[in-house]
């Protein structure tokens, strides 16, 4: 994933807000980057650019060596709120990305619905939601919903995982429990991760690099490896 001198302005003329000013950032395969900085410094804007939800005003955004938007790049996302679809069961919510990706992947087009189900159930079991696949989101606690949304972000085996304060709405105990779960899930496939967070302990626990931004307009101040990160096996 690479941003090359990316500038983003929201709006035009006198009322325009410059959210990012010539930001360059590179994440290699298996990098786990924590993106921190004051509110409004452009962290979410970076995730939107990389997730192809927003076009840069100038500069380039590449994912897997190509302009963002290529069909065979799989991106998983999770946000502060679990954003599960209320009319689908937990299992169907988790399976959703597979259905969306299916037309673009020859190897998955042949798969039957039962294979999708098995994959979803296996992932749910890993995060401690073995018996909750048939329930609806409102029947689960916030922390459980957030686990399910992590499963949904990972089910299609993404190359890139974009997490925008995924644990921000949770109490400290649940949050720390989910750090361990995210780390376990991450170790399976080691996607490149951009994690927006305000929690420095979370950054140190999960990330191998911390990128600190400043606001008005958004710039990168610091980009350093986390020397004290726990060894990963
Ligand atoms: P962060 O995620 O670090 O809080 P954002 O990327 O959300 O920062 O926002 C960066 C700047 O861009 C802020 O000044 C914000 O007000 C502005 N901004 C974000 N989204 C929009 C939008 N859709 N329209 C206008 N301004 C926006």
For 158-216, write each residue's pLDDT tens digit: 889 999 999 988 888 888 988 998 998 888 889 999 999 999 999 999 999 999 999 98
> Which of 6, 9, 28 lies closest to 17, judged by CA?
9
Q: Say if residues 37 and 62 touch (Cβ distance below 8 Å).
A: no
CA-closest residue to ligand 1 atom 25? 10
Find the mean pLDDT for residues 127-146. Answer: 94
Sign of CA dihedral 194, 35, 24, 223: negative
Element (H, E) at 34: strand 32-36
How would you classify the pairing of strands 2-10 and 58-63? antiparallel
> Which of 152, 87, 157, 88 lies closest to 124, judged by CA?
152
> Which of 215, 76, 45, 223 lies closest to 153, judged by CA?
76
Q: Report the separation in Å between the CA atom of 98 and the middle of ligand 1, taken as the mean of its atom positions.
A: 30
Q: What is the pLDDT of residues 31-56, one digit of tens each?
A: 999 999 999 999 999 999 999 899 99
> Which of 150, 158, 41 lies closest to 98, judged by CA?
158
Q: Report the separation in Å between the CA atom of 156 and the middle of ligand 1, taken as the mean of its atom positions.
A: 29
Q: What is the pLDDT of residues 51-75, one digit of tens each?
A: 989 999 999 999 888 787 776 778 9
Pocket of ligand 1 (CB under 6 A): 10-11, 17, 19, 39-45, 218
Question: What tokens does 19 get?
Answer: 């959210």
Element (H, E) at 181: helix 172-189
- For all residues of the chain together, what is the average pLDDT? 89
Q: Say if residues 96 and 85 touch (Cβ distance below 8 Å).
A: yes
**If you search the block for the tokens 């304060």, which residue do you land on?**
165
Question: What tokens does 232 get?
Answer: 């990963």
């Amino acid at each position: 994933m690479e941003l090359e001198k990316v500038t983003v302005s929201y709006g035009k003329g006198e009322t325009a807000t410059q959210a990012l000013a010539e930001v360059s950032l590179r994440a290699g395969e298996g990098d786990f980057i924590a993106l921190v900085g004051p509110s409004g410094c452009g962290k979410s804007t970076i995730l939107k650019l990389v997730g192809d939800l927003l076009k840069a005003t100038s500069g380039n955004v590449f994912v897997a060596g190509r302009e963002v938007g290529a069909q065979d790049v799989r991106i998983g996302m999770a946000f502060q709120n679990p954003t599960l679809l209320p009319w689908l069961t937990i299992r169907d919510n988790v399976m959703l990305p597979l259905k969306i990706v299916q037309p673009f992947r020859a190897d998955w087009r042949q798969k039957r619905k039962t294979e999708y189900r098995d994959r979803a159930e296996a992932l749910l079991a890993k995060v401690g939601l073995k018996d909750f696949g048939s329930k609806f989101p409102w029947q689960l606690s916030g922390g459980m919903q957030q686990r399910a949304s992590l499963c949904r972000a990972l089910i299609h085996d993404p190359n890139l995982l974009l997490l925008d304060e995924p644990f921000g709405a949770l109490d400290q105990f649940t949050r720390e429990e989910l750090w361990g779960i995210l780390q376990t899930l991450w170790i399976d496939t080691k996607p490149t991760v951009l994690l927006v967070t305000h929690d420095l302990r979370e950054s140190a626990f999960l990330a191998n690099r911390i990128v600190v931004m400043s606001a008005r307009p958004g710039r990168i101040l610091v980009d350093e490896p986390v020397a004290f990160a726990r060894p990963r096996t």
